[in-house]
Chain A
Amino acid sequence: MAAANDRGPIPILVVSGFLGSGKTTLLRNLLLDPSAGEIAVIVNEFGEVGIDHHLVRKTDVRTTLLRNGCICCSMRDDLSEALRHLLSQRERGTIPRFGRVVIETTGLADPAPILHTIVAEPVVRNHFRIERVVTTIDAVNGASNLDSYGEALRQVAAADHVIVTKLDLATPEVTEDLKAKLRSINPAASLVEASFGNIDFRPLLAEESQHDAVGINRLGGVSFAIDGDPMAPTAVHAMSGRVTSRCLVFDRPLNWQMFGIWLTMLLHRHGHRVLRLKGLLNVGSARGPLLVEGVQHVIHVPRHLREWPDADRRSRIVFIARDLDLAQVEASLEAFQDLAAAV
């Protein structure tokens, strides 16, 4: 595999969040943060005035602007072209050798097609990798946005980190209610608080290597879900449907090949309802667990972590789904695993 970065594929930080949730403020502060290093930015213009674009340009000239509306559907070719163009400039030395790309999506974007472009486009996937998905949510309007807009829900479900912004404008009660809602929608994500766009960026920028157990940090949320009642499902009702999350736990090692067949079939048929899945699998390997992550139809290439995050060796998979019976999902996976053991 060709690799563009001295240390492997270039990490991409995807910044998502609903309209007015503080994405650009966050991005602006990130670019000013000395720990951020060299960053190339791709922003998406939506609406008549590209205000977002101008704000970002002041701090970073290596900005690629995607035109003609929403990044989520019609612009995927543009996104891959923008990434290829950045790579070409970087290799030719016409721009500094950036160590990270940040993609700021539109407030109405579903992150899944963006992630799909990065993991599926032949050139892009060999030079870039998804580092994290960060979603901002407004403490004042976040709860109502989650109730009213499917896009806001999908953005939270896809996130590795959810940043609650504008805390200075919301009462503590409203903020706590929102955080409880966020935890029930996406128990696998970590919650970060921000006032005036000021947050500690270190967790968002921490090194995460394929060969190091540092990646386990991302699964803190999964451990949290396990520490509580692992079988306690949560449900949130929204206009876009009933969103449930559930952590499936399996005591026995899973047959990886049958898991792959099963999940491929599940996502083929019900992928549009599986907002997010994230799990640590015990596949009977002497090495650490297998990390599986996906957003809707998009599955990242599974990676072996060097070691388990704790003494628990059970497989754990957090599913966040819309209008899907996760008890049925669990029963189906059990049946497929039984079949693998029998043939």
Chain B
Amino acid sequence: MCVLCGALWTEQHWAEVAADEGSEAPDGTVALEIHVDRRGQRLRDRARRAQLISAVFAGYGLQYQDWEGSSYIVRDAKGNTAIAPDLAALLPAAEQILGAPLDPLAPAFLDRVRARTGRSGSVIPDSD
């Protein structure tokens, strides 16, 4: 738990570390001002991440929502819902609702993603 923010977490997923985030002191401690500044940035990052996950999950017909900046909620069109604390736990929860694996390499899924970006004719490079 962060005593400054009152936020409770068990583990921070590596992908939820900001790209420009790093400890300021060699011993890993962070100044209060930097911490407060980062907290705002973390919330903004989280909102943007929610937007991106929603876009990806749309390819599976799933809806995604960030809940209070502390959990992820995923649901399908039938109203099946699951809550996950971080990105790593979100994927199994989404698969359970979907009843199928989330495969970012599946051609059909990638076609749906490309259709959203107007690049449906993208060519896959030569195979190894």
Residues of A within 8 A of B (CB): 1-3, 5-9, 120, 122, 209-211, 231, 233, 235, 244, 246, 255-266, 268-270, 283, 285, 287, 290, 299-304, 325-332, 334-336, 338-343
Contacts and interface: CB of A to CB of B under 8 A. Distances in A.
B117 A339 contact: yes
A300 B22 contact: no
Contacts of A1: 23, 28-30
A302 B17 contact: yes
B19 A329 contact: no
B99 interface: no
Contacts, number: 147
Of listed A209, A256, A257, A290, residue having the most chain B CB within 10 A: A257
Nearest to B113: A335
B27 A6 contact: yes
Given A244-B128, A283-B19, A261 B49 contact: yes
B97 interface: no
Given A1-B23, A261-B87, 8 more contacts: A2-B28, A210-B26, A261-B56, A268-B91, A270-B105, A302-B19, A327-B128, A336-B113
Contacts of B20: 285, 287, 304
Contacts of A8: 23, 26-28
Interface in B7-31: 10-11, 13-20, 22-23, 26-30
Of listed A5, A122, A339, residue having the most chain B CB within 10 A: A339
Contact of B114 (A262, A300, A304, A335): A335
Contacts of B103: 269-270
Given A265-B91, A285-B19, A325-B128, A336 B104 contact: yes
